[in-house]
Amino acid sequence: MEPEGGECPATDGGASVTKDVQSLAKIFKTESDAKYNIVDIQTPLNAFMSGQYKRSCAYHTIRNHLPVILTKVIDSLTRDKNEVVAQFGENAREELKIIIGLISRLKYELQTNKPFQHFTGDEVDRDMWNNFINHLSDEGRTFYRACWMHTECYMYRKLYSFVENSIFLKEFDYFAKVKEHSLTRCQDEILALSKYTRRTENSIEMFSELLKLDLWSNRNDLSEDDEARMFNMKVLEDVMVTDDYILVKNVDEIWNCLLNKKTDRQQVDFVLDNAGYELFTDLILAEYIIENGMADKVRFHVKAHPWFGNAITARDFHWTLQFLRNHSDYIISLIGQKFLQFLKEGKFELAPTSHFWTAPQAFHSMRTIESELYKTLQESKLIIFKGDLNYRKLLSDVCWEPTQHIITCLGGFIPSNLCILRTVKSEVICGLPPGVYEDLLKKDPQWMITGNYGIIQFVDGSREFGY
């Protein structure tokens, strides 16, 4: 596994930028850093990740990545306006202009470290968001000074509010093409995985392989198409070659949890992350769990609206199943039909939409903010959390000591047994064996943002809370 650039660029600019422009940019950055009280240090231990620390993934994401995301949305709306108008009607044309203007203003507010603005439209979760903003300190509610997780969640929530409060474009998903492409680009991998898993024996060795395939599919959003496909196929050819890059491997504990027949909980929950090939690997793992009698039902939790570019909504979930069913390849089509039948029979279930998954709070707040969701998760035999953002929310986006026990970092959030599948794309981690963090840092100072390393962590909820 060769290192590839992650979501947090270590430097700004490119080879085509002239030295004069680079010098001016450096002066501007120095002045703006001073203006926004940005300090040239790494995130201190036990502090929230934040853009105020210049040597952090948070700073580089806010400065370099998030403005690009907004620019790409503006570009896509401008480029595809005739297509959008054809779908939603001529009246949508003027609304597109208004939305583009609102996104441009949001980008300006982000780049100039303005305070978070209250939500004033018909947002379903308006009161929750406004109460959250009201309880932030004055410093803790600006883009750079806020907790990084809060900043990113606010930006994506504000972005959707512009569409949500329109008249003609309420159903428009500005990330839809990106998510669909993330599946259609991976036809070879989908077919290879489909063929490989049609005869899967009930063994810990096979389960371990599927768990690792599902883990590494989370890395797809970091690479260009060709790079992602080459990586997927390399893992499919021999998933064991990745073992040295998995820093925590609690496979045995997860296997034993799923084999437990003594509990009356016979349901597994997936808190999903990305659409595309990653969702397909989620479904394959869920199929294995059902077919081998490890659970009666697998319930999938998706996002309430477009979120973090490639995150799955209910629309994406259903679109994926229909795409598989209608595929020209016979094997893939049969799998799509099988998944749809599972959905019909209740073996697969799409959980009711919860706005908590698109809230800014860490998961330890769920019991208070969304008690019904917490009670629902307590019904689960195992909750599988996918991806980097879910991991950051589990750990409150805090820069923990890497060897800190995960129970401490969860802040009391253990509704049931937890399984965490995450490729490391940010500087939030816990539960590492002593010395691992330091050794990796010597090998590659950027190792935490490359996505080249992964974790398969298990939390025994029954032991902690005596279920």
Domains of the chain by range and CATH? 27-174 (1.20.930.60), 177-465 (3.40.50.10880)
Tens-digit pLDDT profile for the chain (467 aa)?
A: 543 333 564 333 343 444 544 444 454 556 778 888 899 999 999 999 999 999 999 999 999 999 999 999 999 999 999 999 999 999 999 999 999 999 999 999 999 999 999 999 999 999 999 999 999 999 899 999 999 999 999 999 999 999 999 999 999 999 999 999 999 999 999 999 999 998 878 999 999 999 999 999 999 887 778 888 899 999 999 999 999 999 999 999 999 999 998 888 899 999 999 999 999 999 999 999 999 999 999 999 999 999 999 999 999 999 999 999 999 999 999 999 999 999 999 999 999 999 999 999 999 999 999 999 999 999 999 999 999 999 999 999 999 999 999 999 999 999 999 999 999 999 999 999 999 999 999 999 999 999 999 999 999 998 654 43
Q: How many CA atoms lie within 13 A of 188 on its CB side?
A: 12
Calculate the CA dihedral of residues 39, 42, 47, 52 and round it to 10 degrees: 30
> For the chain, give me the number of helices (H) and strands (E)?
21, 7
Contact in structure between 252 and 288 (CB atoms under 8 Å): no
Contact in structure between 232 and 345 (CB atoms under 8 Å): no
SS3 assignment, position 425: coil
Closest CA to 37 of 150, 145, 146: 145
The CA distance from 90 to 278, in Å, is 36
Looking at the DSSP bridge assignments, the partners of residue 147 are 50
Token output for 272? 């999903």
Backbone angles phi, psi at 247, to 5 degrees: -80, -30
Backbone angles phi, psi at 423, to 5 degrees: -85, 135
What's the one-letter identity of residue 211? L
Confidence (pLDDT) at 229:
86
Confidence (pLDDT) at 29:
59
Measured at the alpha carbon of residue 23, what is the angle toward residues 20 and 28, in degrees to the nearest 5? 125
Token output for 380? 């689960």
- For residue 274, the 8-state DSSP code is B
Residue labelled with tokens 């609102």: 102
